[in-house]
């Protein structure tokens, strides 16, 4: 837990100075964090994306998708990291697995919703035009599901990057190492690392928004506000 007997607005200036004095160190830590996050996200994508697409394409297993989203949301990240730690021990693997589990929920539910929600008439029309199942999947359902696929990816990526510092109490590395170690880095360092974590997740969010804009076909671009609203179910 952090101590703040001396905390005031000057601490904030100290934090900014800390960033100015140690850019290399913070960048290394940020890269460490991105590495962990990327690995976790990769695993989650490998598992959840094909599963969500398959379930959504065949319109099966909506209970699996809903169940995953509810359980996933109810599982606090701290609990998840701590629980896996008792099984896998301290270190990179534990944190990668815990973060991957966190990322699975949003990717699975959103890819399911995306493919399950594709207009049946569009699929019917594509079949009538003689498209094969694979062509329908790639040329009709995939582009139409793109907004939801990206929503899932964005939520998952931001969740993972934002949660990675918490993993530092389980030996995760990254900027979290600085955040949980006030004894060495003082409050200024803790704050500096917190600011970097904030910037990092905002960057990831914006990068994915940009990527989405790049890969979304022109005819499918919709208002962004709708896609960003938290889904109620």
Partner 1 sequence: MREHWHDTLEPALVQHLELTAIAIAIGFSIAFVLALIAHRVRHVEQPIGIVSALLYTIPSIALFEILVPFTGIGTGTVEIALVAYTLIILFPNILAGLQSAPPDVLEAARGMGLTRRQILTRVELPLAVPLIIGGLRVAVVSTISIATIAAFLLPKGLGYPIFLALKEPTPFKTEIYSAGALAVGLAIACDMGLVGLRHLLVPWWRTTR
Minimum separation from the CB atom of position 4 to partner 1 (A)? 5
The residues, ordered by sequence, that sit 6+ positions from 118 with a Cβ below 8 Å of its Cβ are 140, 141, 144, 145
Minimum separation from the CB atom of position 138 to partner 1 (A)? 25
Minimum separation from the CB atom of position 151 to partner 1 (A)? 10
Tell me the window of 5-13, 34-42, 45-53, 211-219 that interacts with partner 1 (CB under 8 A): 5-13
Closer by beta carbon to partner 1, 129 or else 199: 199
* 173 lines the binding site for partner 1 (CB under 8 A): no
* 230 lines the binding site for partner 1 (CB under 8 A): yes
Minimum separation from the CB atom of position 133 to partner 1 (A)? 24
Within 103-162, which residues bind partner 1 (CB under 8 A)?
158, 161-162
Site string for partner 1, 32-71 (x = CB under 8 A): ------------------------------x---x---x-
Closest C-alpha to 126, from 118, 150, 55: 118
The residues, ordered by sequence, that sit 6+ positions from 198 with a Cβ below 8 Å of its Cβ are none
Tell me the window of 21-29, 40-48, 191-199, 214-222 that interacts with partner 1 (CB under 8 A): 191-199
Among 169, 181, 186, 216, binds partner 1 (CB under 8 A): 169
* # residues contacting partner 1 (CB under 8 A): 58
Tell me the window of 18-26, 129-137, 139-147, 203-211 that interacts with partner 1 (CB under 8 A): 203-211
Instruction: Give one DSSP letter per residue of the chain, joined into a string.
Output: ----TT-SHHHHHHHHHHHHH-HHHHHHHHHHHHHHHHHHHHHHHHHHHHHHHHHHHTT--HHHHHHHHHHHHHS-HHHHHHHHHHHH-SSHHHHHHHHHHHHHHHHHHHHHHHHHTS-HHHHHHHHHTT--HHHIIIIIIHHHHHHHHHHHHHHHHHHHHHHTTGGGGGT--STHHHHT-HHHHHHHHHHHHHHHHHHHHHHHHHHHHHHHHHHS-GGG---HHHHHSPP--
- Site for partner 1, rule CB under 8 A: 1-4, 7-12, 15, 62, 66, 70, 73-79, 82-83, 85-86, 158, 161-163, 165-166, 169-170, 176, 179-180, 187, 190-191, 194-195, 197-198, 201-202, 204-206, 223-226, 228-233
């Amino acid at each position: 837990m952090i101590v703040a007997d001396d905390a005031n607005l000057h601490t904030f200036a100290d934090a900014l100075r800390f960033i100015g004095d140690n850019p290399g160190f913070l960048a290394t830590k940020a890269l460490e964090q991105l590495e962990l996050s990327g690995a976790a996200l990769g695993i989650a994508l490998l598992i959840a994306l094909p599963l969500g697409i398959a379930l959504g394409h065949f319109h099966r297993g909506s209970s699996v998708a809903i169940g995953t989203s509810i359980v996933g949301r109810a599982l606090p990240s701290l609990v998840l990291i701590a629980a896996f730690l008792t099984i896998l021990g301290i270190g990179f693997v534990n944190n990668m697995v815990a973060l991957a589990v966190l990322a699975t929920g949003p990717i699975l539910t959103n890819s399911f919703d995306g493919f399950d929600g594709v207009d049946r008439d569009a699929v019917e029309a594509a079949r009538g035009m003689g498209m094969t199942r694979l062509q329908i999947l790639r040329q009709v359902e995939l582009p139409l599901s793109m907004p939801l696929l990206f929503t899932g990816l964005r939520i998952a990526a931001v969740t993972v990057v934002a949660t990675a510092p918490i993993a530092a109490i389980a030996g995760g590395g990254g900027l979290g190492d600085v955040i949980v170690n006030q004894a060495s880095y003082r409050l200024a360092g803790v704050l500096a690392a917190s600011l970097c974590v904030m910037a990092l997740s905002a960057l990831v969010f914006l990068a994915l928004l940009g990527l989405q804009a790049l890969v979304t076909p022109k005819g499918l671009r919709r208002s962004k506000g709708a896609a960003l609203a938290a889904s109620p179910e």
